[in-house]
Structure 1
Amino acid sequence: MATVVDLITYPVKGCAGTSLDAAFLTPAGLAYDRAFMVVGVDGVFRTQRRDPRLALVRPTVSADGSRLTLEPVGPVGLGGPAEVPGAVHVDVTTSAPRRDVELFGVTYQGIDQGDGAARWLTEFLGAPSRLVRVPPEHDRKTDGLTPGTSGYADSSAVHLLSRASLAQLDARMAERGAPPLAMDRFRPNLVIDSGPRGGSGEDWASAPHAEDRIRRMTIGAAGLGYTKLAARCAVTLVDQEAGARGGPEPLRTLARYRRFSAGGVVFGAKFSVTRPGKLSVGDEVVVEEWGDAET
């Protein structure tokens, strides 16, 4: 059997994540996950690919979604502690005028969250920035084997990764003299691991990349359907605690054994939400349908 060992939400796309004990899984993913996005003056989304300091912004959303707090974490000063802005509190609006925003070349709508958030992010990132929220009428369609929806996520609503997959990657990097990496390099929403030994269920989660073959599963009260493998990019090169790009790992090692036939490297799997519901750390992952791993 397998269980959920971590639930992580990322309220602002590209910013730091927060681990939760329990969360409600909406049709668009964990509640408020990637519901906000930082954009430039041109409306194009900011990403750790170009702005790694996003990793040092910790967003927190109130339970009712009416207030967002942004605060700095880690060694965040551009030139020293005096340059670090304190936390900013944003009264979230869903009634302000919409504006065009761009995510991977596709135009969506965003609700600007005001000058206070814009000033804070501009100072922190050192580049003119605005904060937008997904409108209530947002009706994005995501692709993959099980179509679904999401907020401002790269693609599907939920990214799942197993500890066994990371352990294998760490072992392969160790063979090359590279240190192990933290799970946050890959920014998953759900982290799974083998459950308690001695049960009647199959210990499938101890096998690296078993998540690649899951097609339908239930966790807690929620249901999820497989969409596609998670293609990895330069964000994995960013040290999430330092907010700065490191060396060539993990992409160098992944390219040796996780190269996808369609191009690039893959690590982890993406899922759509087929049934909203509550899920918690410790919930069993019940696989209802398996498939062949994509290559």
Structure 2
Amino acid sequence: MSDSLSETSSVTFSAAGSDIQAVISRLFVYPIKSCAGVQVKEAILTEIGLEFDRAWMVVDGEGQFLTQRELPRMALIQPRLRHHDMVLRAPGMLALHIALNEVEAPVRVRVWDDEVQAYDMGPVAAQWFSDFLGTTARLVRFDPAHKRICSLKWTDGVEALNQFSDGFPVLLTSEASLAGLNEKLAAVGAAAVDMLRFRPNVVLGDAAGGSELAPHDEDRLDELQIATGQGTVQLKPVKPCGRCPIPNIDPVTATSSPEVGDMLQTYRQDARLNGALTFGMNAIVLRGTDHLLQVGQAVTANYRFD
């Protein structure tokens, strides 16, 4: 996995019969739930999402998960993945090194309504997080032997798995959706926002020779076919991503202001989630485990007609 930024590769399509021809324009991994993300050029796709995505989580003294909703400063914790460890940096803190293949005592923790098996990452990590966040906190890692199954209601009975994500292994959105929001923000004199606010894993962009994506086309797509060097990856969008206040938090400063949520309120109330605000689609992995996803890879899909 590379953590350097990348420009979208030029891809020309001959995908006759597909409604959408696009490319992967950006890839993001969030090693620690609710901490900063890492933009990468490539990432291995596993059955539980991109490798290392939401593999770790911060919990309180009772094992309950902590997020930017309560602790916006979590946005300032910057992970960097290396071959053998993860380096964490935060303002005013010495760097913390977390070995990728080492854990300590087994624990039970809670993420939303799920109680799951995990491993505590030890007292040094606990002290580091507690000092920075100003509250009792511990770092835990998901136990790969535990199977956390996505909501069967949304997956049509497919037993898809995920780690510490809110509920599904992959979050999908598009450059067009962000551009549409920023146009609306500009119209009322508000500043543009970055994709980091929405914490996607896979971002779709326009492809050379393909039709332009419309804002929120991802809402209407059936299975996505992604051409990789090993064959075809198949992702299925299954549930709109309901939005809490986190998109209001500036990931650079950890300050919150209501402009994003207020704007989404004007046009993104989603009947599928009883009027909740949505942006992006949660997806599951149907095919392509262990394939390498890369920026610039070709993506095709057809519209879904329910």
State the TM-score, normalizing by the size of structure 2: 0.85
Change (3 A) 1:204 1:214: farther
- Count of residue pairs the alignment pairs up: 274
The residue that corresponds to 1:103 in the other structure is: 111
Structure 1 residue 190 and structure 2 residue 198: aligned?
no
Gaps of 5+ in 2: 1-20
- In structure 2, C-alpha distance between the alignment counterparts of 1:38 and 1:120, rounded to whole Å: 11
Per-residue CA deviations over 1:48-93 (Å, capped at 9, x if unaligned) read 0011111111123334xx5222112xxx3xxxxxxx1110112345
Pairing 1:1-295 to 2, within 5 Å after superposition: 1-63=21-83, 66-72=84-90, 76=91, 84-92=92-100, 96-143=104-151, 144-145=154-155, 147=158, 148-196=160-208, 199=209, 201=210, 203-205=211-213, 207-219=214-226, 220=228, 221-245=232-256, 247-261=257-271, 262-275=274-287, 276=289, 277-287=291-301, 289-292=302-305
Task: Tell me how far apart the structure 2 counterparts of residues 162 and 252 of structure 1 sit (CA, whole Å).
Answer: 20
User: Contact between 1:94 and 1:136, CA under 8 Å: does it hold in 2?
Assistant: no
For 1:20 and 1:124, the matched residues in 2 are separated by 26
Q: Shift in Å at residue 217 of structure 1?
A: 1.1
Which one-letter code corresponds to 2:118 in the other structure? G
Q: Distance in 1 between matches of 2:81 and 2:141?
A: 12
> 2-side partners of 1:284 and 1:24: how far apart?
16
Q: Distance in 2 between matches of 1:58 and 1:49?
A: 17
Q: Matched residue of 1:25: which SS? A: strand
- The 3-state SS of whatever aligns with 1:138 is coil
**Secondary structure in structure 2 of the residue aligned to 1:282:** coil
Tell me the C-alpha RMSD between the 2 structures. 1.6
**Is the contact between residue 45 and residue 293 of structure 2 (CA under 8 Å) also seen in structure 1?**
yes
Cα distance in 1 between the residues matched to 2:128 and 2:137: 9
Deviation sequence 1:109-163 (CA, Å, 0-9, x none): 2100011111111111111110000112120111223541111001111111111
- Residue pair 1:90, 1:116 contacting (<8 A) in 2 also: no
SS class of match (2:147) = coil
**Distance (Å, rounded) in 2 between the aligned partners of 1:67 and 1:22:** 18
CA distance in structure 2 between the aligned counterparts of 1:258 and 1:4, rounded to whole angstroms: 24
- Contact in 2 for aligned 1:94/1:111 (Cα 8 Å): no
Query: Deviations for 1:9-34, whole angstroms, at most 9, x for unmatched residues?
Result: 00000011111111111001100100
Identity of aligned residues (%): 35
Which stretch of structure 1 is more off in the superposition, 183-192 or 88-97?
88-97
Partners in 1 of 2:123 and 2:196 — Cα distance? Answer: 30
Question: Which amino acid is the alignment partner of residue 241 of structure 1?
Answer: V
Q: Secondary structure at the match of 1:90?
A: strand
Q: In the alignment, what sits opposite 2:16? A: none
Secondary structure in 2 matching 1:250: helix
Stretches of structure 1 lacking an aligned partner (at least 5 in a row): 77-83
**Contact 2:103 2:141 (C-alpha < 8 Å) held by counterparts:** no
**TM-superposed deviation, 1:290:** 2.6
Displacement of 1:175 in angstroms is: 2.1
Q: Is the 8 A contact 1:204 1:210 kept in 2?
A: no
Structure 2: how far apart are the matches of 1:267 and 1:90? 32
Question: TM-score scaled to structure 1, two decimals?
Answer: 0.88
1:204 CA displacement = 4.8
